[in-house]
Amino acid sequence: MHDDRWKEGDVVALKALGAPPLLVPLARGPIRLGHDGVIDLTSQIGSAPGEAVEWLGRSYRVVRPSLADLFSTLRRGAQIITPKDAVQLMFLAGVAPGNHVAEAGSGSGALTIALAHTVGAAGRVTSFDRRRDFLDAARENVTRAGFSDRVTFRERDVARDGIDLTDVSSIVLDLPEPWAVLESARAALVRGGYVATYTPTYNQLERTVQALRSLGYDEVRAVELLERGLHVGDGGTRPAFEMLGHTGFLASGRRLD
């Protein structure tokens, strides 16, 4: 059976009722936590998730960080993918535990974290970006999430130089010119593997889908997701007035040839 007990180096989330999560890497001895002070979580090493700890007069549970916890604590640089689009991209790209997945660009590493969370400890993510400053920002976020051992960052312009990998299960592209990457992406994918793309405009989507078709990808799809929050009251339940009207369009295709 899978051993769920905490090990040194695991990233834990400290959760107090109604408060945002605090992410902490488990270590022996006092750990600095934000500007507020230090906490000693040595006794958690070897314990199961869910135990209570007291810190600065407040009670916290030591829990495994959810993807929502990891997204909410990201340091943002480049425009990050929204949770709804990240999850649908992983569905379209067929991302599964144990897979080797490639993505470009790394940006702030939000999608990288979602991919690393899904492929799990036995999986791998290779994340490309042509800009070193974004690679550094993404690496910092991925390390804070506790996934640095399953992610490899590479500085490369994949539109110009292609994806130089083989036998990748899934490829996810969040960059302005995905069509320029689709030929090398096809060569990098295993047969049966998927590429999924995210672009903000119709023009980019159209060009991407045309390229997917002309390169012989199968199961070519295009989709947009709209998410509406709901106010749930006692007899007054209704949609929220505000809504995120537009994020991006998703497209995908499968290598079979």
Ligand X SMILES: C[S@@+](CC[C@H](N)C(=O)[O-])C[C@H]1O[C@@H](n2cnc3c(N)ncnc32)[C@H](O)[C@@H]1O
Chain contacts with ligand X (rule: CB under 6 A): 78-81, 104-111, 128-131, 134, 157-159, 174-176
Cβ(100)–Cβ(118) under 8 Å? no
Q: CB of residue 257 vs ligand X: minimum separation in angstroms?
A: 25
| Cβ closest to ligand X, residue 26 vs residue 101 | 101
Q: Pick from 78, 151, 167: which is nearest to 119 by CA? A: 151
Q: CB of residue 85 vs ligand X: minimum separation in angstroms?
A: 9
| Cβ closest to ligand X, residue 47 vs residue 79 | 79
| Cβ closest to ligand X, residue 62 vs residue 189 | 189
Q: How far out from the chain centre does Cα 78 lie?
A: 14
| Cβ closest to ligand X, residue 12 vs residue 175 | 175
DSSP for 157-190, please give it: -HHHH-----SEEEEEE-SS-GGGTHHHHHHHEE
Q: CB of residue 248 vs ligand X: minimum separation in angstroms?
A: 9
Q: CB of residue 181 vs ligand X: minimum separation in angstroms?
A: 7
**Which residue reads 């916890």 in tokens?**
69
CA distance 11 to 93: 27
Q: Note the residue count of the chain.
A: 257
Helix (H), strand (E) at residue 205: helix 202-214
| Cβ closest to ligand X, residue 60 vs residue 128 | 128
Cβ(176)–Cβ(63) under 8 Å? no
